[in-house]
């Protein structure tokens, strides 16, 4: 049976029984250990997305990170960040075993990987759409890094979802943390849930947990690396398996380097500079000055 817990971050719900949404079929993929479901409002039938994350007990590390993600998504608002609607927790008890599940309800979206398959775009049309989407994600990352002084920590294909109007939204905030670069003397961990990030998505400093070096870097350095990972996965059509694969730029279409395609300046500058940034990281060059803020300034933001 269900034993209902308080809603996450200050009572946004009382449990699954009182969740004012219907949970539908799951999508084939989602970020991390989350499951992404289609859903509808019980009031008017309007579509929503419902994300769930389960753990064996209330102290499970994935649940702690998930609660951080709920709190962050609820409080951080931006046109290019997934819109939060509701959250709650529920505990299922089966004999002596229990399972705690976090639920997040958001605007209706689809995983970017699934939307790409559904659209089946090719050639110039595909390149224009990808450039537009990258432009949106870059603005979300810039907002987090520069306006909020936050680090997302795991920008990649799985952390991007798409609305019915084909807009790209950044989500997956479980690792999201404050950037405390002002205290360079501190060597303690800055990203509490960095263990959730696959090693292939980490710059060398993060792999080595070199927090002193990270604090000396710009606030956007980690997420600039993540954008490079997103670009690789987007154009290669493959999930990044290991860091060294970022050196392979053969899948990047040459058409993105021509000025006669709308929004191409975004893709051209973003890709060129992030590719260089990735190569600098791979060469252990911590003095790299090709950063996301430089990209966005060039784009006029």
Q: Specify the CATH number for the domain of residue 147.
A: 1.10.510.10
* 46 and 172 co-located in one domain: no
Model pLDDT for residues 230-243, shown as the tens digit of each residue:
988 998 898 999 88
- Residue 27 sits in a domain whose CATH number is 3.30.200.20
Structure-model confidence comparison of residues 197 and 262, the more confident one: 197
Quick one: average pLDDT of 250-263? 49
CA angle 137, 69, 239 (to 5 degrees): 50
Q: Last residue of a domain, which of 89, 106, 123?
A: 106
Q: Last residue of a domain, which of 106, 140, 156?
A: 106
* 238 and 200 co-located in one domain: yes
Of 62, 1, 73, nearest to 34 by C-alpha is: 62
* 115 and 240 co-located in one domain: yes
Percent of the chain with pLDDT over 70: 75
CA angle 287, 289, 293 (to 5 degrees): 140
pTM of the complete model: 0.79
When pLDDT is cut at 50, 70 and 90, the band that residue 108 belongs to is: very high
* 123 and 205 co-located in one domain: yes
Identify the domain containing residue 89 by its residue range. 2-106
The encoded tokens of residue 3 equal 């034993």
Number of domains in the chain: 2
* 160 and 211 co-located in one domain: yes
- Determine how many CB atoms are found less than 10 A away from the CB of residue 187: 13
Model pLDDT for residues 276-285, shown as the tens digit of each residue:
444 444 343 3
Q: Which residues on adjacent β-strands are paired with residue 9?
A: none
* 243 and 186 co-located in one domain: yes
* 54 and 164 co-located in one domain: no
Contact status, residue 280 vs residue 290, Cβ threshold 8 Å? yes
* 163 and 288 co-located in one domain: yes
Ranking 196-200, 217-221, 249-253, 280-284 by mean pLDDT, the lowest is: 280-284
* 114 and 101 co-located in one domain: no
* 96 and 145 co-located in one domain: no
* 118 and 261 co-located in one domain: yes
Q: Last residue of a domain, which of 47, 75, 106?
A: 106
Quick one: average pLDDT of 211-216? 77
Cα separation, 288 vs 270, in Å, equals: 15
* 192 and 279 co-located in one domain: yes
């Amino acid at each position: 049976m269900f034993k209902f817990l308080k809603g996450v971050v200050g009572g946004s719900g009382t449990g699954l029984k009182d969740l004012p949404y219907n949970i539908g079929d799951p999508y084939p993929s989602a970020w991390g250990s989350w499951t992404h479901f289609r859903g509808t409002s019980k009031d008017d039938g309007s579509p929503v997305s419902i994300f769930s994350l389960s753990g064996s007990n209330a102290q499970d590390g994935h649940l702690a990170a998930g609660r951080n993600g709920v709190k962050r998504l609820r409080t951080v608002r931006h046109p290019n960040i997934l819109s939060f609607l509701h959250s709650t927790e529920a505990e299922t008890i089966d004999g002596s075993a229990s399972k705690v599940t976090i639920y997040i309800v958001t605007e209706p979206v689809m995983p970017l990987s699934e939307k790409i398959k559904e659209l089946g775009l090719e050639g110039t049309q595909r390149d224009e759409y990808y450039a537009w989407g990258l432009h949106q994600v870059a603005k979300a990352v810039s907002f987090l890094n520069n306006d909020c002084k936050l680090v997302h920590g795991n920008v990649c294909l799985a952390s991007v979802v798409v609305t019915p109007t084909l807009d790209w939204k950044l989500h997956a905030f479980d690792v999201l943390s404050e950037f405390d670069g002002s205290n360079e003397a501190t060597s303690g961990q800055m990203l509490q849930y960095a263990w959730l990030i696959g090693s292939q998505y980490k710059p060398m400093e993060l792999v080595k947990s070199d927090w002193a070096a990270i604090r000396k870097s710009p606030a956007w350095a980690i997420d600039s690396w993540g954008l490079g990972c997103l670009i690789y996965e987007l154009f290669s059509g493959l999930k990044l398996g290991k860091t060294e694969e970022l050196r392979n730029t053969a899948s990047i279409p040459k058409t993105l380097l021509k000025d006669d395609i709308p929004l191409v300046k975004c893709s051209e500058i973003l890709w060129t500079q992030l590719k260089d940034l990735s190569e600098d990281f791979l060469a252990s060059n911590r003095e790299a000055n090709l950063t996301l803020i430089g990209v966005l300034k060039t784009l006029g933001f």
